[in-house]
Amino acid sequence: MEKNISVGLLGLGTVGSGVIQLIENHQEELVHQLGCGVNVKSVLVRNLEKARQVQVDPTYLTTNPEDVLNDPEIDVIIEVMGGIEDTRKHILNAFEEKKHVVTANKDLMAVHGPELQNAASKHGCDLFYEASVAGGIPILRGLADGLVSDRIQKVMGIVNGTTNYILTKMDDEGVSYEDALKEAQELGFAEADPTADVEGLDAARKMAILARLAFSTSVDLDDVEVSGISNLALEDLQYGRKLGLTMKLIGFADFQDNQVEVSVQPTFLSQEHPLSAVKNEYNAVYVNGEAVGETMFYGPGAGSLPTATAVMSDVVAVIKNKLLGVNGKRFVTPRFEKVLKTPDQRFGQYYFRLHVQDQVGAFTMISSLFNNLNISFERILQAPIKQGKQNGLAEVIVVTHETTLDRCHQVLEKLKNVEVVKELKSYYRIEGAVEQ
């Protein structure tokens, strides 16, 4: 049997505590898989006196990163401390010390992923980051290994549990956005400052990582178009139900003719779409490949033990590579030069909600505007507005057939100059056919 493999942790928060638990409680499984044990030798923390979620020998704890990074007995660094610039420096130092790195840091990998992968390859080290996307769901390994022989055409998913919980409460129970957010915070699904989640920034980082891996092209975080859910109105979710649609915050990445688009935005899904059934804090990623067709990965997107499970899957992969002598051989440079789709190359259906004058000819004017841009209607709903000063107005819901994003932008601009249109209340992308 090989000697035990020693690992060092950078960070001992929620995920780090889960890693400690798995190593302690699953040692028999690790020995069975690897032929050797795994032990934690050193842990970087900010405060030596802080109460911990797990029992750790105090002699293992340090506030000096060099104690972990420069220890010759440590083979693998597990980074679960978060942050970007300081963490980047620590990981680069680890590679210089010929140590392999497993990270759960989506922010770091979204911004500096290509640089760190090149550095790992240069020093003959592994860099794995399964836990950076969708918690315990093995989506990155699924793309890199399970679907490696296929040509991935589309990756879309619910990759933020906070927003999915909020939208589930709004859609299923009619709870306001503010009340749903408050409940998510009370349950620990949302941070005190929820901006990164509700404005789509967290999901955007994950989609940049997914797009790079799925399409073998250099997608940057700035290439991801982002909008969040903080301005969603219950009325839109209610109209969506009448149309057979469910609202989700969707990360969307598409690759056709070597051109890529990546976005995160509130999106209506057909209730027949697999992602529409994903509720509460759960995540799911839907992958469409040329050969395999449609697949979906589903599971808990966060949490101590689910995320720690993804971390430990990477640790096992690193150790197996070490035993085989193939560390640092996995990194593959991007195959395709990045070419972003222009708005006239991006297709989709769209939902518009308008407040218009409730008068003869109003709808004819609106339909003529859409027709002049070669946009046809798939569904139309119209209802009077009865609240106070809104008398004399009607609410019109339009669902288009597939059109280009460029034409959608033209419609939005031209609607501002239509006299009978008093206000564009909202518009959203639709994925999947609308029920008739």
The pLDDT, as a whole number, for residue 401 is 95
Dihedral of CA 305/311/315/317: which sign? positive
Confidence of residue 3 (pLDDT cuts 50, 70, 90): confident
- Do residues 267 and 428 lie in contact, with contact meaning Cβ atoms separated by under 8 Å? yes
The pLDDT, as a whole number, for residue 433 is 63
The domain over range 5-135+304-324 is classified in CATH as 3.30.360.10: no
Strand (E) or helix (H) holding 32: helix 27-34
Closest CA to 23 of 108, 34, 300, 131: 34
Q: Architecture of domain 147-300 in CATH?
A: 2-Layer Sandwich (3.30)
Strand (E) or helix (H) holding 117: helix 106-122
d(CA 223, CA 263): 8
Q: Where in the chain is the domain with CATH 3.30.70.260?
A: 343-431
- Do residues 135 and 15 lie in contact, with contact meaning Cβ atoms separated by under 8 Å? no
Closest CA to 2 of 359, 365, 320, 422: 320
pTM of the full predicted structure? Answer: 0.94
Q: What is the pLDDT of residues 91-112, one digit of tens each?
A: 999 999 999 999 999 999 999 9
Token couple for 117 = 């992968």
Which phi-psi region, left, alpha or beta, contains residue 418 (left: φ > 0; alpha: ψ -120 to 50)?
beta
Query: What φ, ψ does residue 362 adopt, rounded to 5°?
Result: -65, -45
- Do residues 163 and 230 lie in contact, with contact meaning Cβ atoms separated by under 8 Å? no
Token couple for 317 = 């992969």
Residue 425, burial from CB neighbour count under 10 angstroms (0-12, 13-18, 19+): middle
For the cut 70, the answer to whether the pLDDT of residue 18 exceeds it is: yes
Confidence of residue 435 (pLDDT cuts 50, 70, 90): very low
What are 268's strand-pairing partners? 247, 430
In the predicted model, what is the mean pLDDT of residues 172-177? Answer: 94
* DSSP classification of residue 423: E
User: Could you say which of 3.10.450.50, 3.90.1150.10, 3.30.70.260, 3.30.200.20 is the CATH number of the domain covering 343-431?
Assistant: 3.30.70.260
For the cut 50, the answer to whether the pLDDT of residue 395 exceeds it is: yes
d(CA 403, CA 115): 38
Choice between 364 and 179, residue whose per-residue pLDDT is larger: 179
Q: Taking the C-alpha atoms of 332, 309, 20 and 162 in order, what is their torsion angle to the nearest 10 degrees? A: 100
SS3 assignment for 137-183: CCHHHHHHHHCCCCCEEEEEEECCHHHHHHHHHHHHHCCCHHHHHHH
Mean pLDDT, all residues of the chain: 93
Residue with structure tokens 């789709």? Answer: 341
For the cut 70, the answer to whether the pLDDT of residue 221 exceeds it is: yes
d(CA 129, CA 136): 12
For the cut 80, the answer to whether the pLDDT of residue 248 exceeds it is: yes
Helix ranges (H only) for 174-303 are 177-186, 195-198, 201-215, 234-242
Q: Where in the chain is the domain with CATH 3.40.50.720?
A: 5-135+304-324
Catalytic residue among 99, 106, 206, 322: 206
C-alpha angle with apex 306: 300 to 308, nearest 5 degrees? Answer: 150
User: Terminus-to-terminus CA distance in the chain, angstroms?
Assistant: 64
The pLDDT, as a whole number, for residue 247 is 97
The interaxial angle of helices 362-372 and 405-415, nearest 10 deg, is 140
For the cut 70, the answer to whether the pLDDT of residue 434 exceeds it is: no
For the cut 90, the answer to whether the pLDDT of residue 28 exceeds it is: yes
The pLDDT, as a whole number, for residue 432 is 80
d(CA 324, CA 135): 28
Closest CA to 133 of 153, 152, 155: 155
In the predicted model, what is the mean pLDDT of residues 129-141? Answer: 95
The pLDDT, as a whole number, for residue 2 is 66
pLDDT > 70: percent of the chain: 97
* DSSP classification of residue 274: G
- Do residues 355 and 395 lie in contact, with contact meaning Cβ atoms separated by under 8 Å? yes
206 is annotated as an active-site residue:
yes
Residue with structure tokens 């990998």? Answer: 109
d(CA 2, CA 267): 51
Q: What is the pLDDT of residues 182-196, one digit of tens each?
A: 999 998 889 999 999
Token couple for 316 = 């096992």
The pLDDT, as a whole number, for residue 152 is 97
